[in-house]
Amino acid sequence: MNTTITKSAGMGAVINDGTVTFRVWAPNAEKVFVGGSFNNWAKNDISLEIEDNGYWSVITDQASEGDEYKFFIEYKGELLSRNDPYAFEVTNSNGNSIVRTLDFEWDDTDFKMPSWNELVIYELHVGTFNRSSPDAVGTFEDVIAKLDYLKNLGINCIELLPVAEFAGGISWGYNPAHPFAIEQDYGGPDGFAKLVNEAHKRGIAVIMDVVYNHFGPSDVDLWQFDGWSENEKGGIYFYNDHKSETPWGDTRPDYGREEVRQYLRDNALMWIEKYHCDGLRMDATSYIRYEGGGLGYDTEIEEGNVLMRDINSEIREKYPHVLTIAEDLKGDSRVTDAVEHDGLAYGSQWDMNFVHPVREVIEDTHDDSRDLQKIVDALEFKYSNDAFSRIVYTESHDEVANGKARVPEEIQPGDAESDFAKKRALLGIVLTLTAPGIPMIFQGQEFIEDEYFQDTEGLDWEKKKKHEGIENLVRDIIKLRTGEIEGGKGLRSQHIEILHSNHETKILAYTRFDANDPTEPVLVILNFKNQEYENYGIGLNEDEPFELRVNAGSKIYDKDFSELPVDSVAVVEESTDAKNWTGKINIPAYGALIFTKS
């Protein structure tokens, strides 16, 4: 039985009542066929009928779940073999499409993503996060094996580098070949769905990294998909002029075509609807909205803005709990502004105004030249008048590669486990976890992983054993941040007040507080100098003592750290920092102290 259907039936291979509907967009094709394991790969046996606007479809009872298939497209006398752009699974990046549904058994119905002001994100790369052996590629099952560890660390959200099927088995994932399929070497669709389900059962949300600024550039059947192209470019899915050019290949999608925008919109919703993902992090969005990525004088791609605005608006309307994140890195509030303010309506964006100045200051080799004003500016910055419209971090997959290393390695190259390197790296972690914004750490950062990120090298879990105390420190701060440990509500608020910034002593102090509920302020004191201070004075607003919760420079976290005793803040009626009250405290060299109210 071969019959045509209407456009509303969906794209790709859709199973229904013992039949499979194949539907594809190929506006320049002269004929379209589908063949596969169900008909001995006959290339002209089952023909699709033309619909409106270049769509082709057929219903057949020959195919069923699990069958392999391809489309065969006739163009100017040539028969082109193409994978289904909407294939939910492929045998491998240059193999065949597989007929399948994405109907999984879920038991995560009670899961609710934490409020965005409670999130602590852990970015990880499936292929390297937890390898069963040095030569193996990490899988979704390997990540599942570490979910209890992440839960114990206090993490309530993981963000995965892209897992859409890519060329080969080793990659960062930013070379998607089949955007709707899941990388087979990681465990395919079933493995990914199981990971999301298991994460949710532990109270951990899942954010998926997606790549819409380019495809491939290798193993991409979308290239000249139906035979047509101009200027030897990519055909219907891509720009066929200078706008096709990106740093990752000549493969920028043509956002000006409604069908391409629909393709990317459908992909975004797949992660949410089919795989229960709680958020999307969109890669290099500046290359969706600017031809040159927004570097200097650049030409805007308005239809790219339309794409992102439409996707974000639909997600906000249908799934208001889903967080969309832009990796834009241009410091532009428009990215997170509301549509009515000509914004792109992302929920949050990675913040260059935090990571770059903070790393610059803590990696500076000279104490005297550390500029505390850069830290103050980084702490007080916000987009769209919302502290949680930014993701704050000192390490990410990009910031610890591409010529840069992990923070401890950058601080002291070749000796990342030195006292200086560890303490100053912890200054960055404490800043990240106590700053206004959504904090993010990168895999292994919690136990001072060093060197730089490579997709060929697994995370060194031996360092976890070696730096277990520092991991405990990070856990203590995370749980105070998320509310698992009480007393830290101020860390989940919009508000910050800089109490003290001394460029000679290099001491910085600030409070995080909720203006509507001032009962749980948090006082943070940071020492950016290799000098300890005793009975140091910091101006306070009132005569209420703060109690010590975390001393990041204490020997309880690392045997090489300070023995200087640190107690609760002693408050005296004395003017400091133009305030009537002064808190007296001992501060270790390169120390980081966190206090809460009793």
Distance CA 92, CA 188 (A): 10
The per-residue pLDDT for 363 is: 97
Between the alpha carbon of residue 3 and those of residues 22, 35, 39, 59, 476, the distances in Å are 10, 15, 17, 5, 63
Asked if residues 164 and 183 have their Cβ atoms less than 8 Å apart, the reply is: yes
In the predicted model, is pLDDT for residue 41 greater than 80? yes
pTM of the model: 0.97
The per-residue pLDDT for 518 is: 87
Domains 2-82 and 489-597 are alike in CATH topology: yes
Residues 229, 230, 231, 236, CA torsion sign? negative
The per-residue pLDDT for 1 is: 40
In the predicted model, is pLDDT for residue 355 greater than 90? yes
**Is 327 noted as a catalytic residue in this protein?**
yes
Asked if residues 378 and 357 have their Cβ atoms less than 8 Å apart, the reply is: yes
Asked if residues 144 and 202 have their Cβ atoms less than 8 Å apart, the reply is: no
Across residues 159-188, what is the average pLDDT?
A: 98
Domain boundaries, the chain: 2-82, 116-217+254-482, 218-252, 489-597
The per-residue pLDDT for 9 is: 56
Q: What whole-number percentage of the chain has pLDDT above 90?
A: 96
Q: How confident is the model at residue 139 (pLDDT cuts 50, 70, 90)?
A: very high
In the predicted model, is pLDDT for residue 409 greater than 70? yes
Find the catalytic residue in 310, 327, 520, 558.
327
| Residue indicated by tokens 């769209």 | 384
What φ, ψ does residue 7 adopt, rounded to 5°? Answer: -60, -25
**Architecture of domain 116-217+254-482 in this structure:** Alpha-Beta Barrel (3.20)
The CATH classification of domain 489-597, taken from the options 3.90.1150.10, 3.30.360.10, 3.40.50.300, 2.60.40.1180: 2.60.40.1180
Q: How confident is the model at residue 3 (pLDDT cuts 50, 70, 90)?
A: very low
Q: How confident is the model at residue 545 (pLDDT cuts 50, 70, 90)?
A: confident
Across residues 307-317, what is the average pLDDT?
A: 98
In the predicted model, is pLDDT for residue 4 greater than 70? no
In the predicted model, is pLDDT for residue 564 greater than 70? yes
Q: Which of 451, 454, 400 is nearest to 137 (CA)?
A: 454
**Is 61 noted as a catalytic residue in this protein?**
no
Across residues 536-565, what is the average pLDDT?
A: 95
The topology (CATH level 3) of 2-82 is: Immunoglobulin-like (2.60.40)
Find the catalytic residue in 67, 283, 351, 450.
283
In the predicted model, is pLDDT for residue 6 greater than 70? no
Distance CA 130, CA 459 (A): 7
Q: Which of 593, 598, 509 is nearest to 551 (CA)?
A: 593
Mean pLDDT of the chain: 96
